[in-house]
Amino acid sequence: MKVKVAVAGASGYMGAELLRLLLVHPLVELVAVTSERLSGEPLDSLYPHLRGLTSLTFETLDPERLVREAECVFLALPYMESHKVVPVLRRHGRKVMDLSADYRLKDAGAYATWYMTSHSDPDGLAEAVYGLPELHRKAIASASVVANPGCYPVGAVLAIAPLLKAGWARGDGIVIDGKSGVTGAGSMGRKVDPIYLYTEANENLQAYGVATHRHTPEIEQELSGLVGRSLTVAFTPHLIPLNRGLFTTASVPLAKAAATADLVACYREFYAGEPFVRVLPEGKLPTTRAVVGSNFCDVAVVADPRTQRAVCLAAIDNLGKGGSANGVQNLNLMFGWDERTGLDAPPVYP
């Protein structure tokens, strides 16, 4: 019997990608989709690419109704909205996959600092598991609330984690440069800042959220957990004129001298058996084109003996491994399925 799944906040790019994946998932029945703006409209009126795959219409968000209709609810809502819904779903024993930022930071004080508001569901926050399978697979499998990671943290953490865990990296002085396609901004809704308009983004590259981006504490939280002490990173995001795709370049100080071959071997050992992380051989570098439309993360590492640093590189689809596809991987783990179920299609090319 298929698991009944609902998607709340399905009118953004993240929702669109999630619906595309769930509608063809062999073990899922999509039973409800919500959008305050489009309530009563057929789903395919907004997403003509899904025409013929479903007869669902958008409805307003009513947590009690979702409890009656679904066993698991995906929340693709703007931040500060999910923690109004999760307590109801938790109270009725429903599984929750939150794609917003509301449950990612374990420290409620850090949430208040970076989001400038207190968290209204501290019990749910304490219960939530950070949804990066490569680091938290066992906890995700037994979780009732999973906080799906932000796109930048996925790229940054997967690029750097093996070095920290194996002791190759010092931990201080980590500098992270992230570049995301324009769908990253509209992931939870299509009404976005004018800088993401085609006329502004095309033939342009710009930094934003400099020294203030809210994914910074998320990156620090996960990297700190790998070494058991507090780490601080310098993170700068950039907007690039791509529909989808995210590229991470991290400069990481080394704790000891290393050749590129040593570091590649470290990555291969760390990611051995991981179905969606592809460690590239020495001399090969990731590209966003090679991962678009997929849940893959391509990683590479290069030693720089001159500066005693490692250059760590990762490419993901910001709506895939950086969002909805990773959420489906978590869904598979939560229900005890093969985590590749519904995600085995290769990336789109060209």
Are 347 and 296 in contact by the 8 Å Cβ rule? The answer is yes
pLDDT score for 323? 97
pTM of the model: 0.96
- Report pLDDT digits (tens) over 271-294: 999 999 999 999 999 999 999 999
Q: Is 84 helix (H, G, I), strand (E, B) or coil?
A: helix
Sheet holding 246-253, edge to edge: 206-207, 233-239, 174-180, 246-253, 309-316, 297-304, 277-279
Which residue matches tokens 């689809």? 317
- Give the residue numbers marked as catalytic: 151
Q: Within 13 Å and on the Cβ side, how many CA atoms surround 48?
A: 0
CA 233 – CA 254 distance, rounded (Å): 15
Q: Which residues lie below 8 Å from residue 167, measured CB to CB, with a gap of 6+?
A: 255
Q: What is the rounded average pLDDT of the residues 98-118?
A: 94
pLDDT score for 196? 63
- Report pLDDT digits (tens) over 139-196: 999 999 999 999 999 999 999 999 999 999 999 999 999 999 998 865 655 555 666 6
Pairing of strands 129-130, 145-147: parallel
152-316 fold: Dihydrodipicolinate Reductase; domain 2 (3.30.360)
CA 287 – CA 201 distance, rounded (Å): 20
pLDDT score for 184? 81
pLDDT score for 194? 66
Confidence band for 53, pLDDT divided at 50, 70 and 90: very high
For residue 198, is pLDDT > 90?
no
DSSP assignment of 185-211: TTTT-S---GGGSHHHHTT--EE-STT
pLDDT score for 193? 63
- Report pLDDT digits (tens) over 208-255: 999 999 999 999 999 999 999 999 999 999 999 999 999 999 999 999
Cα three-residue angle 311-315-318, rounded to 5 degrees: 135
Q: Which amino acid is at 108?
A: A
Q: What are phi and psi of 289, to 5 degrees?
A: -60, -30
Peptide bond into 350 cis (omega under 30): yes
Q: What is the rounded average pLDDT of the residues 105-110?
A: 94
CATH 3.40.50.720 region(s) of the chain? 3-148+323-334
CA 164 – CA 158 distance, rounded (Å): 11
Are 29 and 55 in contact by the 8 Å Cβ rule? The answer is no
Tokens representing 162 are 């093996």
Tell me the pLDDT of the chain averaged across its residues: 95
pLDDT score for 173? 97
CATH 3.30.360.10 region(s) of the chain? 152-316
For residue 81, is pLDDT > 60?
yes
CATH, domain range 3-148+323-334: 3.40.50.720
Q: What is the rounded average pLDDT of the residues 106-117?
A: 93
Angle at which helix 216-227 crosses helix 108-115, to 10 degrees, equals 150
